[in-house]
Amino acid sequence: MRAPAKVNLHLSVGQRRPDGFHDLTTVFQAVGLYDDVTLTRSDALTVTVQGTGAAEVPLDASNLAVRAVALLAERTGGDPRVAVHIAKGIPVAGGCAGGSADAAAALVGADALWGTGWSREQLASLGAELGSDVPFALHGGTALGTGRGEQLTAVLEQGEFSWVLALSEAGLSTPAVYAELDRQRETGPVGVVSDPAEVLAALRKGDAVALGRSLGNDLQSAALALAPRLRRLLDTGRDLGALGAIVSGSGPTVALLARDDGHAVALAAALAGQDVCSAVRRAEGPVAGARVLETS
Ligand code: ATP
């Protein structure tokens, strides 16, 4: 199974709700950076992880792919004795929803392994119990997310966009970034983006220049407060000619929009030559959501 990373082209964050969550309005795009998840029948539910940031991923029952297998087993009667293997290509704690991608891939994979035959909608509503970004990892493409980000509406769009993702070694904890935003809001209005209309119009036209100009993320100021070095990365990306530069979700991954593939190659090479991030990846968007690559 293969599941993609996401970037938030637009992310506006409402006030903290009594249940601790925030209402969001977001536009997600699935981009071509993937985790591959393999499920094999076994004598216990186990998980192994390899690849980028593997050492940071939990190997116990808190792993999101393990939780996904356990939850689907509980609801369907499937046999949860499965060996889960995750090959990570998505940065861990990077703001690209890698854990959610693994959960989505595991849901699709366990459904196929057990022949459960659940629809995407059924898997998505189960996935929302695991994390707000899981339904989008199943959906893929580009979508408007409301609620906690789990209520999705497909977006009219055309064309492909070329992204350069600048990775940072030290991750940022999503709850810590939201807490920092709440703290900043105690002393003044923080939140610059409220309406995704411009992003949606740019997507409808397939206009990369307009999309670059309209990217916005309310979590960016909080991410920059916790990781100030990201400011230089954003500035460098813009100086190198990116159409737009934004912290992805809660960061620290920074997404730079290129004019086209050729520009992305040049931008990635130029960025890699500066001492502003730990790694650089190119990725096209939009791409499909979690899917089965092969069954044995
Ligand atoms: P988001 O963008 O959804 O806020 P993120 O991309 O910042 O998330 P993830 O890589 O999804 O962060 O992981 C966040 C935390 O979740 C990690 O620090 C890790 O402890 C935990 N986690 C649990 N299962 C997984 C998994 N399969 N892969 C990665 N992290 C996992």
Q: What is the pLDDT of residues 153-185, one digit of tens each?
A: 999 999 999 999 999 988 899 999 999 999 999
Please, what is the Cα angle at 102 between 221 and 272, to 5 degrees? Answer: 50
Which amino acid residue places its CA nearest to atom 25 of ligand 1? 99
Nearest in space to 35 (alpha carbons), one of 97, 121, 80, 113: 97
Q: 293 — phi, psi (to 5°)?
A: -90, -45
Residues having CB within 6 Å of any atom of ligand 1:
56-58, 62-65, 86, 92-100, 102, 133, 174, 249-250
Which amino acid residue places its CA nearest to atom 14 of ligand 1? 93
Q: Indicate which residue of 36, 111, 133, 218 is catalytic.
A: 133
Pairing of strands 2-16, 82-88: unpaired
Q: How do residues 245-285 score in pLDDT, each as one tens digit?
A: 999 999 999 999 999 999 999 999 999 999 899 999 999 99
Does the active-site annotation cover 88?
Answer: no
Q: How do residues 18-27 score in pLDDT, each as one tens digit?
A: 888 889 999 9
Q: Is 284 left (phi over 0), alpha (psi -120 to 50) or beta?
A: beta
Which amino acid residue places its CA nearest to atom 13 of ligand 1? 93
CB contact set of 15 (below 8 Å; sequence gap of 6+): 22, 23, 185
Q: Kindly report each contact of residues 180-188 with a partner whose C-beta sits within 8 Å and lies 24 or more positions away, as own/partner.
A: 180/222, 180/223, 180/225, 180/226, 181/13, 181/218, 181/219, 181/221, 181/222, 182/16, 184/221, 184/222, 184/225, 185/15
Does the active-site annotation cover 133?
Answer: yes
Ligand 1 midpoint to CA 94 (Å): 8
Q: Indicate which residue of 6, 35, 36, 111 is catalytic.
A: 6
Q: How do residues 30-56 score in pLDDT, each as one tens digit?
A: 999 999 999 999 999 999 999 989 999
The 3-state DSSP class for residue 57 equals coil
Ligand 1 midpoint to CA 198 (Å): 30
